[in-house]
Structure 1
Amino acid sequence: MKLGARILKTGISIVLALFLAELLDVPSPVMAPIAAIFAVQPTIYRSYQSILEQVQGNFLGALIATVFYLLLGNHVVVIGLAAIIVITLNLKLKLGNSTGLALVTLVSIMYMPGDQFIQFAALRFGTIMLGVFSAFIVNLVFLPPRYENRLYHKISDTTEEIIRWIRLSTRNASDHTLLKTDIEKLKDTLLKIDLTYTMYKEERSYFKRDDAVKARKLVIYRQMISTARRALATLNRLHRFENEYLALPEKFQQSVQEQLDCLITLHEQVMLKFIGKVRPSAAAENPIQCLDKKEVFRMFISRQREYEEEDDNHLYHTMQIISAILDYDEHVEHLDTLVTSFLSYHKEDNEITVEETIE
């Protein structure tokens, strides 16, 4: 079982919140770690956003609790009504992420008030904010997330899995049922990769010079994801029209197989070139020569002419396979152009390390 960074940060945040609460001799110190649990975020930027929202949301919760208690008391029905008001106002002010902790603030103030209510409410609000700031400090100092490593390795691993299946499919060596299951899993994986990409995009650079480098990297990673999707679309077409593909003339099948072998080899090379495992000079000196897109299209047209007088649904399905291959080809070429351009300017700024433990 792997311990992710967020799990460790949550534990450290609880320890820090309790330590500070006890150090300051705060009554009911348990409120601080509860707030810290709510406030832990996956990125520093989100943690900063969370602080702004939590301050506003919890202040609103404390204010509503104070007003309702002074006017209506602390009957359970009053507490419920106050909670409804807090939720409504948080949603209206677009502070939905802070609603949970704002309700904790409200209930902790209203349910068991002290003798001096105003001071008690201020103390409870301060204790909860202590937990929020503890979580922010931990997120800022301890185990800062490195989403670039995580993003690249997720894309690379998913791409390798898709490529393996394409190789098997073009050779009629894949298990139909197992491949169908894996295609659905790969679709879900790509959705998760989109979330990781968003996390990486939200990371903030400490130096202005790094902004330009990151902007270009974001374009490349977006293209990597897009290219992996086109590879998966090609695999899906091969799987969906497996019988039609196998019914094609052997020479035509061989041409499709050779073109896909060339494309996936180039795709692999580009992914490795980006992290320095393939020298750009070596790739330029010995380029992988795939069929020109026009040649692939002519191949399909010639196939169509052979059967134009027959009612052959295979032509329609073959067209879908060919169109997916052409689309995949364009994305691989574009990715290669972006990576080559990036490495010519920022080779020293691209250090992908061994994949970190993923939370």
Structure 2
Amino acid sequence: MNIGARMLKTGIAVTLTLLLCHAFNFTTTGFAAIAAFLAIQPSVYRSWKHLLDQIQANVIGALFAFGTLYLLGNHPVVTGIIVILLIGINSRLGVENVGLSVVTAIAILEIQDPNVFQFGMERFLSVMVGIVSAVLVNMIFLPPKYEDRLLSHIETTGEQLSMLLRSLVFGELEKEAYREAKESAEKNIDKAEKLFGFYRDEFNRLFKNAPYSRAKKLVLFKQMIMILKKELEVIDHFEHQSSALLYVSDGLKDDIQEFLYALTNYEEKIFMKYERKIKRSYSDDLHDKIEEQKIRLLSHLTKSTPDKITDLEDVKKHSYLFALVSSLSHLSDELEKLDILVERYHKYE
């Protein structure tokens, strides 16, 4: 069993909550523990946002519960109606997680003791202890390092896609291996976008006065993910228009293959340049070679197109080829943008 950081933090938050409840002599520790469990969030910023949302939701839940106890009592039917109303009101207010609001209301409505207000306040406060404990643990203990995780994930996904791209023209990969690699890459791109969302939340909300170079990283990572998507688009183009390659000359196939190798090599060198593993001028030389290969490929494709096309199948075949080469050209443009962004990042760092 793999115990992740979030699982570990959840356990620590519950432990801290129970210890604090015992220190304050709260008797309803179970509700506090549930609150701590529900309040752990994937990022520090979202923990703060969750805290503010839950303070609002808990106050509403407590007020509804106290009002209902005094006016209508705590009959099961009444409790059910209050739960429905709380869900509706919190949803209207934009509170994403209404669970703790409902927990607070039920905790108060189930009180049978004559001193309702005292026990109700204790349960309300115990829930708040759970929420605050979870936020503190999330901030102090093993805070998520989204930047490192995001960069590592982008590089790993880029390697997967590079392998797929290099195998497109001559189909070196077995169908099952190709399918598994592509599905894995698609899932990894989705995960990269999610990690980028967490990183952007942390950066925008908690580091508003960060240096200019740090702000540049947001743009860099966004462009890196854009390239992953463009590579996947190229792969999709080759899949949907693979029949066009059946009629392509060996020379043109070789040009396409060389261009694919050049693009994947260029991407690898840009990442190495970002991490300061190679000289900055090295990727510039690669860029010039890619431009030469692009011109040669387009020229070869144009020359291979007959002056007169009368057959509809020939029209489709050559339009597919131009679409394939166009997708590769767009990918090279996006790589060039990333290269420029990396250059500017190092300049202002």
Question: Does TM-score exceed 0.5, indicating one fold?
Answer: yes
Cα deviation 1:238-274 (Å, max 9, x = unaligned): 2333332143100110111111111110011111211
Q: Which residue of 1 aligns with 2:348?
A: 345
Q: How does 1:195-344 map to 2 (within 5 A)?
A: 195-204=194-203, 210-284=210-284, 289-292=289-292, 293-305=294-306, 308-311=309-312, 312=314, 313-344=316-347
> Residues 178 and 286 of structure 1: is their aligned pair in 2 closer, same or farther, counting only changes over 3 Å?
closer
Structure 2 distance, partners of 1:65, 1:27, is 19
Flag structure 2 segments of 5+ consecutive residues without an equivalent. none
Question: d(CA) in 1 for partners of 2:240 and 2:178?
Answer: 10
AA at the equivalent of 2:344: S
Report whether the alignment pairs 1:104 with 2:106: no
Partners of 1:209 and 1:110 in 2: CA distance? 46
The answer on whether the counterparts of 2:213 and 2:348 sit within 8 Å (CA) in structure 1 is no
Matched residue SS, 1:169: coil
Does the CA-based 8 Å contact 2:111-2:119 persist in structure 1? no
Tell me the CA shift for residue 288 of structure 1: 6.0
CA contact (8 A) 1:246 1:253 kept: no
Shift of 1:318: 1.1
- Distance, in Å, in 2 between the alignment partners of 1:212 and 1:113 is 59
Structure 1 range deviating more: 190-199 or 206-215:
206-215
Which residue of structure 1 aligns with residue 35 of structure 2? 35
Counterpart Cα distance in 2 of 1:307 and 1:338:
44
Cα distance in 2, alignment partners of residues 108 and 86 from structure 1:
14
Number of corresponding residues: 345
Counterpart of 1:54 in structure 2: which amino acid?
Q
SS state at 1:268 partner = helix
CA contact (8 A) 1:64 1:106 kept: yes
Q: How does 1:139-158 map to 2 (within 5 A)?
A: 139-158=138-157
1:190 deviates by 1.1
Contact 2:252 2:297 in 1 (8 A): no
* Residues 57, 90 of structure 1: 8 Å contact kept: yes
Distance 2:277 2:259 in 1: 24
Q: Please tell me the residue identity of whatever aligns with 1:53.
A: D
Q: Which has the higher contact order (CA 8 A, sep 6+)?
A: 1
Q: Distance in 2 between matches of 1:306 and 1:172?
A: 31
How do residues 56-71 of structure 1 correspond to structure 2 at under 5 angstroms? 56-71=56-71
Aligned to 2:188: 189
Distance 2:263 2:111 in 1: 68
1:114 aligns with 2:113: yes
| Cα distance between partner residues in 1 of 2:173 and 2:239 | 9
Deviations 1:282-333, CA, capped at 9 Å, x for gaps: 4456766114444433333222236734431321221221111011111011
Give per-residue Cα distances to partners, 1:202-242, cap 9 Å, x unaligned.
11487666342222101010000001111111122223333
Would the aligned equivalents of 1:113 and 1:120 in 2 still touch at CA under 8 Å? Answer: no
CA distance in 2, matches of 1:285, 1:330: 15
Distance 1:176 1:301 in 2: 32
CA distance in 1, matches of 2:337, 2:30: 55
CA distance in 2, matches of 1:36, 1:207: 26
Name whichever of 275-284 and 257-266 sits farther off.
275-284
User: In structure 2, do the counterparts of structure 1 residues 207 and 70 end up closer, same or farther at CA, with 3 Å as the change threshold?
Assistant: closer
Structure 1: runs of 5 or more not aligned: 347-359
1-structure distance, mates of 2:260, 2:195: 29
Partner-residue secondary structure (3-state), 2:248:
coil
Q: Closer, same or farther in 2 for the Cα pair 1:338/1:240, shift >3 Å?
A: same
CA RMSD of aligned residues (A): 2.0
Aligned runs of 1:44-83 on 2, under 5 Å? 44-83=44-83
**Shift, 1:177, TM fit:** 4.4
State percent identity of aligned pairs: 30
Between 1:51-60 and 1:299-308, the stretch displaced more is 299-308
Q: Cα distance, 1:186 vs. partner?
A: 2.0
Query: What's the counterpart of residue 357 of structure 1?
Result: none
Query: Which deviates further from its counterpart, 171-180 or 131-140?
Result: 171-180
CA distance in 2, matches of 1:255, 1:284: 21
